[in-house]
Structure 1
Amino acid sequence: MELNDSELATLRNRFKKNAEFLLQTTTTGDEDEKSHEEKDFKPLPRVNRHTVFWIMASVGVTYYVDFFRNIIENDDIKSWWFNVGLALLGVCLILATFCIVYLEWVKGIQHYDLEYPAIPPLATAAFIAASCSFNIALWPVWAFFTPLILFTQFMGVVMFISLLG
């Protein structure tokens, strides 16, 4: 079946009108939904099941694997990697303190990532390198459980800090 030029033009115009109609209804619908969502927006409570779960899991792992005693007394830990991990974690904490305390509280800069765009990637890289270093350092102690233990500890600390802020 071949269409002549006038039929093609008619078909094209029909699709164009339908497309314009659909675009108009979706944009006005999105605006209505956004304003409705903005009206109903309620921040999540600080204490929820997710937060409690990670904090309790972190406490349980700390107790079960005797975390601090192993860190202090275990001779199997690769101390060089552990010290590198501590230094990199210190870099992360210094950057976080700089952003939160100095930039946000003292200078009042809310979007410090726009003012100092190098900070987020630098902190991310330092944290990833620190977690790799800690995994290497503690692998002789807990073997393949090491990443799970460290991730659980990390999530517990993050959730605990979220309760403070």
Structure 2
Amino acid sequence: MTFDCPSSGSRRTAESVETSTAVEKKEKPLPRLNIHSAFWIVASIVVTYYVDFFKTLQDNFHTSSWLLFGGALLLISLSVALYCILYLEWYHGIKEYDAKYPTLVPVTTATFIASGVCFNIALWNVWSFFTPLVLFTQFMGVVMLISLLG
């Protein structure tokens, strides 16, 4: 099936019309606060309250070296991420910092994953097999909260 395209004077097929419609729909930005992000933020708040997250971290802070090592790795990961965002992108205007400095993203990813493993090991004795679920919910809640800010 073909259609006349009045703006270009040519004929277009139904497939190309559907493709162009799909492309136009993808270009529309999603709202920052949607059901998905609200769900993760509320779930993170509920989990924080229900498992007494901050008291548990405080009680295990001095007893577990895994928690300290995970915190150090998380600090390294966040430092590299802030270096990329604040210094390279905002201050120097380098938008493609991963192309100019290709090792930054893998280092940040590796240290973040290693910190997650350390946190799981440190808190396993508290929540057992619920530990990965609790930490993942906290992670998603923080990510969605940060996405609301910018």
TM-score bracket, normalised by the shorter chain, equals 0.7 to 0.9
The answer for the alignment partner of 2:107 in structure 1 is 122
- 2:59 maps to 1:73: yes
- RMSD of aligned alpha carbons: 2.2
Structure number with greater Rg is 1
Structure 2 spans left out of the alignment, 5+ residues:
1-11
Counterparts of 1:99 and 1:46 in 2: how far apart (Å)? 23
113, 122, 136: which one aligns with 1:137: 122
The answer for the alignment partner of 2:141 in structure 1 is 156
- State the TM-score, normalized to the length of structure 2: 0.83
Counterparts of 2:100 and 2:115 in 1: how far apart (Å)? 25
Counterparts of 2:121 and 2:130 in 1: how far apart (Å)? 12
The answer for the alignment partner of 2:6 in structure 1 is none
Kindly provide the amino acid, as one letter, of the partner of residue 64 in structure 1.
Y
70, 76, 86: which one aligns with 1:91: 76
Aligned length: 137
- State the TM-score, normalized to the length of structure 1: 0.76
Counterparts of 1:123 and 1:74 in 2: how far apart (Å)? 25
Counterparts of 1:163 and 1:105 in 2: how far apart (Å)? 19
The answer for the alignment partner of 1:42 in structure 2 is 28
Q: Higher helix fraction: Structure 1 or Structure 2?
A: 1
73, 79, 90: which one aligns with 1:105: 90
Q: Specify whether residues 154 and 87 from structure 1 end up closer, same or farther in structure 2 by C-alpha distance, changes over 3 A only.
A: same
Q: Deviations over 1:116-142 (max 9, x none)?
A: 110111111101110000000000111
